[in-house]
Amino acid sequence: MKAVIPAAGLGTRMLPVTKTQPKEMLPILNKPAIHYVVEEAINSGCDDILIITGRTKRAIEDYFDRSPELEEFLKKKGKEKELEEIRRISEMANIMYVRQKEPLGLGHAVLLAEKFVGDEPFAVLLGDDIIVSEEPTTRRMIDLYNREGAPVIAVMPVERDDTKRYGIIKPSNLSRPPVYTVDDLVEKPAPEEAPSNLAIVGRYLLTPEIFTYLKNISRGKGNEYQLTDALKLFAFSRKLLAMEIKGVRLDIGSPESWLKANIYMGKRSGII
Ligand code: UTP
């Protein structure tokens, strides 16, 4: 299975740090957020990974590349543990890059993966969403795809008041947790208009048919090409599933959620 990690957004909620530092490279303890996302892809069986980057995102490529000078330095100093860790990162997976020249939205970013994907199903993991769970979420989604033969999006229940911050699915009346058939998707509905409290999180298991839909949507919310709009069209004519995640989802997109993510991981690892 191939994996696509979109990481080309400008991260405006995290400005000014994201002026020069990719949001996906912000540290969660001593690892950048995207490290955890790449680990999930690998642990789910995805060896070929395409990261969608853009201007000011060079640090992502450098992070997963070899660093001969640093390796030499650590070797001379006898810092074997650090040396091993640095080498391991550069050998984690077969990572390729494509640049999104303008941040025209997540839908536009995913469309850039068309050639890389070919005609197989593929996983999409957002570079700013970490899911801490025993079994990797993407692995569970691949298993569901293999059983049902339909694309899957990950969802999680949210407080009714919070529906306005997420894409929300309308599950079919017949579906039961943790797997739902999606009838419709609504972008950031007010609580009284939300068709459920199931919010879309940053994991998708898609088939190449999605590219046809992505080519047919026009600019939506924020004047950007939205993946949600393509999925909505998809759900009207084909079977689309949603699966509840297990574990804890950490969003690093705003100062508050980034700080909470660090506190959570700090407590989990016993540092604080
Ligand atoms: P977000 O909307 O959370 O990211 O996109 P953003 O646009 O960078 O952040 P704000 O809202 O301005 O603070 C979700 C994911 O999609 C990627 C982002 O990098 C992030 O991982 N993305 C978004 C792209 O790759 N390209 C885009 O044009 C937009």
Lowest mean pLDDT among 28-32, 69-73, 137-141, 171-175: 171-175
Do 53 and 63 contact (CB within 8 A), yes or no?
Answer: no
The span from the CA of 230 to the CA of 214, in Å, is 5
CB distance 107 to ligand 1 below 6 Å: no
**Is the per-residue pLDDT at 2 higher than 90?**
yes
The span from the CA of 101 to the CA of 251, in Å, is 25
pLDDT at 221: 86
pTM for this structure? 0.97
- Amino acid 209 reads E
pLDDT at 175: 86
Ligand 1 pocket test target in 4, 5, 10 with most atoms within 8 Å of CB: 10
The span from the CA of 196 to the CA of 206, in Å, is 22
CB distance 32 to ligand 1 below 6 Å: no
pLDDT tens, residue by residue, 177-199: 999 999 999 988 999 999 999 99
For 79, list phi and psi in degrees, rounded to 5: -90, 75
pLDDT at 167: 93
CB distance 98 to ligand 1 below 6 Å: no
38 half-sphere exposure, CB direction, 13 A CA radius = 26
pLDDT tens, residue by residue, 211-268: 999 999 999 988 999 999 999 999 999 999 999 999 999 999 999 999 999 999 999 9
Residue 10 sits in a domain whose CATH number is 3.90.550.10
Q: How far is the CA of 6 from the centre of ligand 1 (A)?
A: 8
CA nearest neighbour of 34 among 95, 113, 78: 95
**Is the per-residue pLDDT at 173 higher than 90?**
no
Residue having the nearest C-alpha atom to atom 9 of ligand 1 = 11
- Amino acid 119 reads D
pLDDT tens, residue by residue, 3-58: 999 999 999 999 999 999 999 999 999 999 999 999 999 999 999 999 999 988 99
Residue having the nearest C-alpha atom to atom 1 of ligand 1 = 9
pLDDT at 174: 85
Q: Which domain holds residue 152?
A: 2-269
Structural domains counted in the chain? 1
CB distance 253 to ligand 1 below 6 Å: yes
Cβ contacts of 103 within 8 Å, gap of 6 or more: 8, 9, 10, 54, 109, 224
CB distance 106 to ligand 1 below 6 Å: yes
CB distance 6 to ligand 1 below 6 Å: yes
**Is the per-residue pLDDT at 68 higher than 90?**
yes
The span from the CA of 261 to the CA of 267, in Å, is 10
pLDDT at 56: 87
